[in-house]
């Protein structure tokens, strides 16, 4: 352990601890690893492989953590940084496991088995249950050997990290600095340079400036931002009195309503099936025609189904096909169903199952009267007309803005609207309008990135405004 402390006191040791312990506090050791394909290597650390599968799993875990912090807005995530952070964590974990192995920090199989046997979730009537243990292994998709190996690694990491976290690691230099601060002692060094005189002797070429820029591009990076002028128009600003609805429009709307009610009415399909079992095609067709003739002569459809139908699941129920759906029998069968009116009976229809005599009955339906539906239909027509009028107004305003490349014309046309401005808007800016996905997509589109400064076309907002 003393040799490990010597390693951890250095800068490398501190960096490794930070890399490992910070993500550990976020998601926990147990959630990291699912055992990837070691042949597919992402990184090798002192001869030990880190699989791409492990890297993908941890990157996904980090991504989900960050998404919860930015309310699911994936545009705010730095994907490359997340993957690099995940890889650094796996490297740190591998190094710590290697150090734990050198220090002999490990549990034996017997110790781990004893720990498992004492787990209440694996016990039944106070004793270890092989059945409960096997069920758990199946649920997590692991073998007993893999679980023991995973527990051994987790325990080694916890022992190793706790020995560092719970112990003060202070160098002599740190102690001296604390002592100096406590006694209020300072050692001060001053250097004075006459900057104007100094600069006279310095010359910089354009090539040196370019070389410096190329070598330090990352330090010049800035978060992309835009200055935005926008104007919001809502339906209430362009809609005045309710649109007039004519009697003819109401009658047409009611007719459509009645047709839809009839179309949606439940239709019960009944059939009498004469199969080709133990019959020739001609014999089956003759029998089907005879049954059809009996029904036309006065025999009820239910009686004929009970006496002659070979469909044992429906004959006792008057031939009713339970939960009929198109395509159950054949296209010819479905076509016959569609062509039959309420109560009408078809002539024999042939399918792969034999010959069918079909009857369709539409359930009794009470369609509301015109007077009962008039108020609702009036409101729907007024709403539809208002929406169309609003759409027409927006299209007209849109043409004005695009042609003049200015928002002022909208403010002149629409009472109560005004041009708003917001500078320095970034992808992460929280704003009730500019943060919406459709708006953000236009603010940071390739056209804008390439220098387009023209007014955009209209954008529909989540609440119906434009």
Of the listed ranges 360-364, 370-374, 389-393, the one predicted with least confidence: 360-364
Q: Which residue has the higher pLDDT, 367 or 158?
A: 158
Q: Answer yes or no: are the C-beta atoms of 2 and 164 closer than 8 Å.
A: no
Residue 34 and residue 57 in contact, taking contact as beta carbons nearer than 8 Å: yes
> Does residue 7 sit in the same domain as residue 141?
yes
Of the listed ranges 15-19, 83-87, 101-105, 346-350, the one predicted with least confidence = 15-19
Q: Residue 108: is its pLDDT beyond 70?
A: yes
Q: 225: part of which helix (H) or strand (E)? A: strand 225-230
- 143 within a domain of the structure (yes/no): yes
In the structure, what pLDDT confidence band is assigned to residue 169 with cuts at 50, 70 and 90? confident
More confident position, 38 or 96: 96
- Asked whether residue 15 carries a pLDDT value surpassing 80, the answer given is no
Are 425 and 431 a contacting pair, CB within 8 Å?
Answer: yes
Place of tokens 């040196």: 208
Rounded distance between C-alpha atoms, residue 231 and residue 458, angstroms: 10
CA distance 147 to 29: 14
CA distances from 450 to 75, 150, 428 (A): 19, 52, 20
pLDDT at 21 over 60: no
As a whole number of angstroms, the distance between CA 292 and CA 358 comes to 10
* Mean pLDDT along residues 54-83: 89
Same domain, 37 and 161: yes
CATH code for the domain in which residue 283 is found:
3.10.50.40
Judged by average pLDDT, the poorest of 31-45, 227-241, 318-332 is: 31-45
Q: Which of 165, 184, 199 is the last residue of a domain?
A: 165
What's the CATH code of the domain at 72?
A: 1.10.4030.10
Check whether residue 159 and residue 278 sit in a common domain.
no
Q: Which residue has the higher pLDDT, 26 or 85?
A: 85
Report if residue 20 sits inside a domain.
yes
Whether residue 159 has pLDDT greater than 90: no
Distance CA(89)–CA(79), nearest Å, equals 15
Same domain, 278 and 131: no
C-beta separation of 143 from 137 below 8 A: yes
339, 362, 385 - which closes a domain: 362
Distance (Å) of CA 129 to CA 118, 120, 239: 10, 10, 73
**Does 218 fall in a domain?**
no
Question: Would you place residue 22 in the very low, low, confident or very high pLDDT band (cuts 50, 70, 90)?
Answer: very low
Q: How high is the mean pLDDT of the chain?
A: 85
Whole-angstrom Cα distance, residue 434 to residue 439?
Answer: 6
CA distances from 331 to 82, 248, 327, 336, 366 (A): 56, 39, 7, 9, 31
Per DSSP, the three-state class of 419 is: coil
- Confirm if 273 and 356 have CB atoms less than 8 A apart: yes
Question: Residue 152's domain spans which residues?
Answer: 2-165
Is the pLDDT confidence value at 312 over 80?
A: yes
156-185: average pLDDT: 80
Q: Is residue 399 part of a domain?
A: no
How many domains does one find in the chain?
Answer: 2
Is residue 244, in this structure, part of any structural domain at all?
no
Q: For 172-218, how does the pLDDT look when each residue is reduced to its tens digit (9 = 90+)?
A: 888 888 887 777 767 889 999 899 888 888 899 999 999 999 999 98
Same domain, 282 and 144: no
The Cα 288–Cα 290 span in angstroms is 5
Largest CA distance in the chain: 124
Share of the chain above pLDDT 70, in %: 90
Residue 65 or residue 19, greater confidence: 65
Mean pLDDT of 151-176: 83
β-strand partners of 362: 267
- Domain check: are 139 and 8 in the same one? yes
Residue 208 inside a domain? The answer is: no
**Whether 465 contacts 250, CB under 8 Å:** no
Residues 148 and 273 in one domain: no
Are the beta carbons of 440 and 224 closer than 8 angstroms?
A: no
Indicate whether 404 belongs to any domain: no
Provide the pLDDT for residue 39: 57
Residue 59 counted as domain residue: yes
CA–CA separation, 438 vs 442, rounded Å?
Answer: 7
Residue 407 pLDDT class (50, 70, 90 cuts): very high
Q: With a cut of 50, say whether residue 132 has pLDDT above it.
A: yes
Residues of the chain with pLDDT > 90, as a percent, come to 35
One domain for residues 11 and 159 = yes
What is the torsion angle, in degrees rounded to the nearest 10, for the CA atoms of residue 174, residue 175, residue 177 and residue 182? 140
Please count the CA atoms within 13 angstroms of the CA of 129 that sit on its side-chain side.
12
Last residue of a domain, one of 149, 165, 181: 165
């Amino acid at each position: 352990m003393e040799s490990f402390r010597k390693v951890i006191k250095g800068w490398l040791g501190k960096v490794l601890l930070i890399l490992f312990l910070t993500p550990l506090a976020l998601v926990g050791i147990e959630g990291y690893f699912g055992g990837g394909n070691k042949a597919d290597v992402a990184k090798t650390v002192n001869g030990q492989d880190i699989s791409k599968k492990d890297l993908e799993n941890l990157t996904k875990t980090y991504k989900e953590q960050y998404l919860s912090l930015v309310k699911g807005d994936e545009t705010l995530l730095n994907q490359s940084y997340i993957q690099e952070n995940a890889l650094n964590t796996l490297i740190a974990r591998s190094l710590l496991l290697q150090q734990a192995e050198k220090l002999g920090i490990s549990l034996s199989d017997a110790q781990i088995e004893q720990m498992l046997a004492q787990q209440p979730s694996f016990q039944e009537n106070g004793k270890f249950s092989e059945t409960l243990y096997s069920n758990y292994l199946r649920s997590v998709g692991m073998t007993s050997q893999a679980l023991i190996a995973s527990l051994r690694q987790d325990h080694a990491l916890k022992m190793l990290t706790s020995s560092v976290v719970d112990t003060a690691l202070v160098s002599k230099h740190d102690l001296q600095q604390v002592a100096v601060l406590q006694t209020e002692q300072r050692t001060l060094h001053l250097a004075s340079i006459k900057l104007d005189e100094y600069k006279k002797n310095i010359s910089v070429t354009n090539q040196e400036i370019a070389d410096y820029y190329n070598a330090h591009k990352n330090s010049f990076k800035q978060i992309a931002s835009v200055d935005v002028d926008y104007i919001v128009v809502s339906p209430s600003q362009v809609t005045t009195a309710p649109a007039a609805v004519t009697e003819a429009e109401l009658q047409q709307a009611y007719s459509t309503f009645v047709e839809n009610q009839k179309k949606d009415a439940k239709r019960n399909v009944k059939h009498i099936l004469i199969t080709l079992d133990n019959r020739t095609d001609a014999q089956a067709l003759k029998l089907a025609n005879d049954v059809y003739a009996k029904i036309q002569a006065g025999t009820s459809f239910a009686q004929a189904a009970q006496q002659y139908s070979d469909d044992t699941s429906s004959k006792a129920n008057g031939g009713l096909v339970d939960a009929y759906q198109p395509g159950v029998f054949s296209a010819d069968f479905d076509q016959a169903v569609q062509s039959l009116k309420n109560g009408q009976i078809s002539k024999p229809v042939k399918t792969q199952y034999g010959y069918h005599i079909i009857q369709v009955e539409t359930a009794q339906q009470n369609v509301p009267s015109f007077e009962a539906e008039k108020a609702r239909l009036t409101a729907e027509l007024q709403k539809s007309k208002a929406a169309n009028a609003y759409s027409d107004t927006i299209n007209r305003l849109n043409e004005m803005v695009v042609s003049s490349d200015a928002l002022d014309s909208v403010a002149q046309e629409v009472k109560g609207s005004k041009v708003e401005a917001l500078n320095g808007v970034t992808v992460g800016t929280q704003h009730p309008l500019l943060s919406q996905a459709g708006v953000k997509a236009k603010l940071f589109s390739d056209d804008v990135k390439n220098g387009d400064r023209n007014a955009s076309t209209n954008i529909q907002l989540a609440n119906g405004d434009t």
